[in-house]
Amino acid sequence: MRHGPILAPQQAKEMMSLTATLSQMFGDAFASQGLDTSYGTVVVSARPDLAQFQCNGAMAAAKQAKKNPREVAQSVIDNLVDKTPFAELGLAGPGFVNITLTDEYLAEYIDSLDEESKFGTLTDEPKKIVVDYGGPNVAKELHVGHLRPAIIGESVKQTLRYLGNDVVGDVHLGDWGMPYGQLIADLEDRFPDWPYFDESKTDGYPETSPLAIEDLQVLYPQAALRAKEDEDFAARARAAVVELQAGRPGYRALWQHMRDISIAAMKKVYDRLNVHFELWYGESTINHRLKPMVKRVSDSGDAYESDGALVIEVMTDEDTKEIPPLLVLKSDGASLYTTWDLATIEDRVEEFGAEEILYFVDVRQGLHFEQVFRAAHKTGIAPPEVVLEHPGNGTVNGPDGKPFKTRDGGLLTLRELIDMVVERAAQRIEENALAAEFDDEEKGEIAEMVGVAALKYGDLQNHRSSNYIFDVDRFTSFDGKTGPYLLYGAVRMQSVLREAGGRGLAAGTVIAPTVDQERNLMLQLARLPEVVARTAEHRAPNHIAEYAYELVADFSRFYEVCHILREEDQARQASWLHLIELALAELRLLLSLLAIDVPERM
Q: Which of residues 75-134 bind RNA (CB under 7 A)?
A: 92-96, 98
Q: How far is CA 448 from the centre of its chain?
A: 21
Nearest approach, Cβ of 338 to RNA (angstroms)?
7
The smaller minimum CB distance to RNA, of residues 108 and 556, is found at 556
The smaller minimum CB distance to RNA, of residues 191 and 468, is found at 468
Nearest approach, Cβ of 362 to RNA (angstroms)?
8
| Residue 334 interacts with RNA (CB under 7 A): yes or no | yes
Using an 8 Å Cβ cutoff, are 393 and 464 in contact?
A: yes
Please tell me the distance from the alpha carbon of residue 473 to that of residue 247, in angstroms, as a whole number: 50
Using an 8 Å Cβ cutoff, are 326 and 305 in contact?
A: no
Using an 8 Å Cβ cutoff, are 131 and 160 in contact?
A: yes
Nearest approach, Cβ of 82 to RNA (angstroms)?
21
Interacting positions 437-456 with RNA (CB under 7 A): 450
The smaller minimum CB distance to RNA, of residues 43 and 411, is found at 43
Find the binder of RNA among 123, 499, 514, 571 (CB under 7 A).
499
What backbone torsions phi and psi does residue 258 show, to the nearest 5 degrees? Answer: -60, -40
The smaller minimum CB distance to RNA, of residues 204 and 480, is found at 480
Nearest approach, Cβ of 210 to RNA (angstroms)?
25
The smaller minimum CB distance to RNA, of residues 121 and 205, is found at 121
The smaller minimum CB distance to RNA, of residues 100 and 274, is found at 100
Find the binder of RNA among 5, 192, 480, 504 (CB under 7 A).
480
> Going by C-beta distance under 8 Å and a sequence separation of 6 or more, which residues neighbour residue 94?
59, 69, 70
Using an 8 Å Cβ cutoff, are 521 and 555 in contact?
A: yes
Q: Are strands 166-170 and 128-132 parallel, antiparallel or unpaired?
A: parallel
| Residue 311 interacts with RNA (CB under 7 A): yes or no | yes
| Residue 379 interacts with RNA (CB under 7 A): yes or no | no
| Residue 60 interacts with RNA (CB under 7 A): yes or no | yes
Strand partners, 362: 393
Nearest to 593 by CA among 129, 160, 269, 267: 160
Find the binder of RNA among 462, 526, 575, 578 (CB under 7 A).
462
| Residue 135 interacts with RNA (CB under 7 A): yes or no | yes
CA dihedral sign of residues 174, 177, 182, 188? positive
Burial 350-366 (b: 16+ CB within 10 A, else e): eebebbbbbbbbbbeee
Find the binder of RNA among 477, 525, 526, 532 (CB under 7 A).
477
| Residue 67 interacts with RNA (CB under 7 A): yes or no | no
Nearest approach, Cβ of 90 to RNA (angstroms)?
8
Fill in the per-residue mask, 397 to 426: x = in contact with RNA (CB under 7 A), - = not in contact: x---x-------------------------
Angle at which helices 366-379 and 337-347 cross, to 10°: 50
3-state SS class at 177:
coil
Binding window for RNA (CB under 7 A); candidates: 155-163, 263-271, 375-383, 560-568? 560-568
| Residue 74 interacts with RNA (CB under 7 A): yes or no | no
CA dihedral sign of residues 246, 249, 254, 258? positive
The smaller minimum CB distance to RNA, of residues 94 and 383, is found at 94
Fill in the per-residue mask, 11 to 50: x = in contact with RNA (CB under 7 A), - = not in contact: --------------------------------xxxxx-xx
Find the binder of RNA among 87, 122, 242, 336 (CB under 7 A).
336
Interacting positions 515-544 with RNA (CB under 7 A): 530, 534, 540, 542-543
| Residue 378 interacts with RNA (CB under 7 A): yes or no | no
The smaller minimum CB distance to RNA, of residues 113 and 564, is found at 564
Nearest approach, Cβ of 494 to RNA (angstroms)?
7
Size of interface with RNA, in residues (CB under 7 A): 100
Fill in the per-residue mask, 260 to 299: x = in contact with RNA (CB under 7 A), - = not in contact: -----------------------x----------------
Using an 8 Å Cβ cutoff, are 495 and 564 in contact?
A: no
3-state SS class at 359:
strand
Using an 8 Å Cβ cutoff, are 97 and 73 in contact?
A: yes
Interacting positions 210-239 with RNA (CB under 7 A): none
Burial 148-159 (b: 16+ CB within 10 A, else e): bbbbbbbbbbbb
Find the binder of RNA among 432, 509, 514, 570 (CB under 7 A).
432
Strand partners, 309: 306
| Residue 504 interacts with RNA (CB under 7 A): yes or no | no
Helices (H), 331-413: 337-347, 366-379
Nearest approach, Cβ of 370 to RNA (angstroms)?
9
3-state SS class at 107:
helix
**Which DSSP category does 172 fall into?**
-
Opening angle at CA 494, ends 491 and 498, nearest 5: 135
**How many separate helices (H) and strands (E) can be counted in the chain?**
20, 13
Find the binder of RNA among 126, 292, 353, 366 (CB under 7 A).
366
CB neighbours (10 Å) of residue 275? 25
Interacting positions 145-174 with RNA (CB under 7 A): 174
Nearest approach, Cβ of 486 to RNA (angstroms)?
10
Q: How far is CA 445 from the centre of its chain?
A: 24
